[in-house]
Copies of this chain bind each other. A is one copy, B any other.
Amino acid sequence: MDNADSVNVRVFSLNCWGIRYLSKHCPQRYAMIGEMLSKEEHDIVLLQEVWSEKDYLCLKKKLACTHPHSHYFKSGVIGSGLAIFTKYRIHDTFVYRYSLNGYPYMAHHGDWFGGKAVGMAVLNVGGLTANVYVTHLHAEYCREKDSYLPHRVVQAWELQQFIRHTSAGADVVILGGDLNMHPQDLGNRLLRSYTGLQDSYLETAKFDGCEDGMTLIADNPFITEKELGPFDKGIRIDYILFKSSSKADIHCDSMSTTKGSVPDHPFPYSDHEALTAELRLESCSPAETGADRPLKTQDSTAGRLAELVDIVTEARTEVKVGLHCAERMRYTAARTAVMGLALLFLELAIAAVPWLALGAEQPFPRTSFYLLAVLCFAILLTTSLLYIFYTMELKSLQGAEDQMRLAVSSLQEKLRGFPLAQPHNPPRRPPEGQEPGAFHPEE
């Protein structure tokens, strides 16, 4: 690219599958990852599932020369697992913890303990302000009966909100991570449509990697058939997304993924494939922004608004399903608690009779008495905790649903401002009553 005003940025993203003592060959794989990163010298490295801070610090030490700037996003009990390594100075960071992230009692799934979040780092890339986001959404354990779907949809909703609201001042937006969603999944459509983020895989000029850009593939020895389900070749759930602004155009010149094996090594870097996107950032002069760049017609804007209304409505339906489920679970918890309490009172009553009738023999065998009491207390405690937890889940789901309802009505209001019959001259300034800070289909 002979344009003097363009910067090439190589972005890398990998879910490291770094559960100490549990993930297979974890230390060896981290050594391989560190070696590769220091050799490849990507400009921005976005890692997920770096569950141990020790492993992050090890990588930081190894990459001190090639990637002097880094940040580890802390959250939850274990951590968010998110890390960024970069050549560019990090000026600011911010982290948003998703309000919903699975259930603590589903310890074998472990998502809740990870405290899933989206991390943001503000970098200066060739004079442009780049907001770089890294995230990891709740895993999908069973596609047919996905009880975590409402949680993932709310995470996608919060992710788009976070990116949209924090990136207004950015010239460049880059998001990398494991979204745990197929390309056409609801959350993915919601994220892309609302933020205007573009998918590197779909936009790239050149591609070298797995078929259909898949990042969870059957050829990876760490992947079992069960994990892929009906998608026997693999699925695409890791992404590098980007968004241009009025100050900078972004193009994806090439993209690549690893292919389930690493030359000269007995196993791959992770159970996920790694992504690399070569992005070209071109600064736009203010004049260019106004005059030379093609403007979208009102028709296409209205079309996109209408599409967005449909997607948000679909998301709202999914959240409502989650609401019903959470309400049912909370009701069950409350009912069980009442039963536990009733049992306890019954036991006490039976035991109290001989005490009251002084001298009568205690009919209740002591062992059973205490065991039953313990059981009652355990039930009461567990159900109380569950009740509190489900109440919090309900609040978050209701909150998301409220916001979605408001968003739909705001989008419909905007749609009414776009009569399809009018000539194709979009107004330079949004009409009064229309929100200029939110969704900009023109961008």
Contacts and interface: CB of A to CB of B under 8 A. Distances in A.
Interface string A69-102: 0011111110100000000011111111101000
Interface string A400-417: 001100110010010000
A438 to B, nearest CB: 5
Contacts of A93: 402-403, 406
Contacts of A366: 366-367, 370
A432 interface: yes
Contacts of A92: 165, 406-407, 410, 435, 437-438
Contacts of A437: 91-92, 122, 129, 131, 169-170
A120 interface: yes
A351 to B, nearest CB: 12
A126 B374 CA distance: 64
Nearest to A91: B435
28 contacts: A71-B402, A73-B399, A77-B395, A89-B410, A90-B406, A91-B434, A91-B435, A92-B165, A92-B406, A92-B410, A93-B403, A93-B406, A94-B162, A94-B403, A97-B99, A115-B392, A122-B437, A124-B435, A126-B432, A127-B429, A129-B435, A129-B436, A165-B166, A166-B168, A167-B168, A366-B367, A367-B370, A370-B371
Nearest to A158: B94
Nearest to A435: B91
A419 interface: no
Given A77-B388, A367-B370, A370-B374, 20 more contacts: A71-B406, A74-B395, A74-B398, A89-B435, A90-B410, A92-B165, A92-B407, A92-B435, A97-B97, A115-B395, A124-B432, A131-B437, A165-B165, A167-B168, A168-B168, A168-B169, A366-B367, A370-B370, A370-B371, A381-B381
Contacts of A73: 399
B91 A399 contact: no
Contacts of A122: 435, 437-438
A433 interface: yes
A80 B392 CA distance: 11
B75 A395 contact: yes
Interface in A93-139: 93-97, 99, 115, 120, 122, 124, 126-127, 129, 131
A204 interface: no
A323 to B, nearest CB: 12
Contacts of A377: 374
Given A170-B437, A370-B374, A395 B79 contact: yes
A161 interface: yes
Contacts of A147: none
Interface in A353-378: 366-367, 370-371, 373-374, 377
A254 interface: no
A75 B391 CA distance: 10
Contacts of A336: none
A75 B399 contact: yes
A155 B127 CA distance: 32
A66 interface: no
Contact of A433 (B115, B124, B410): B124
Interface string A51-82: 00000000000000000000111111101000
A437 B90 CA distance: 12
A123 to B, nearest CB: 8
A261 interface: no
A402 B72 contact: yes
A396 interface: yes
A94 B124 contact: no
B99 A75 contact: yes
B95 A96 contact: no
B432 A127 contact: yes
A91 B72 CA distance: 34
Contacts of A410: 89-92
A373 B392 CA distance: 32
Nearest to A119: B399
The 6 closest A-B pairs by CB, nearest first: A168-B169, A91-B435, A370-B370, A74-B399, A129-B437, A168-B168
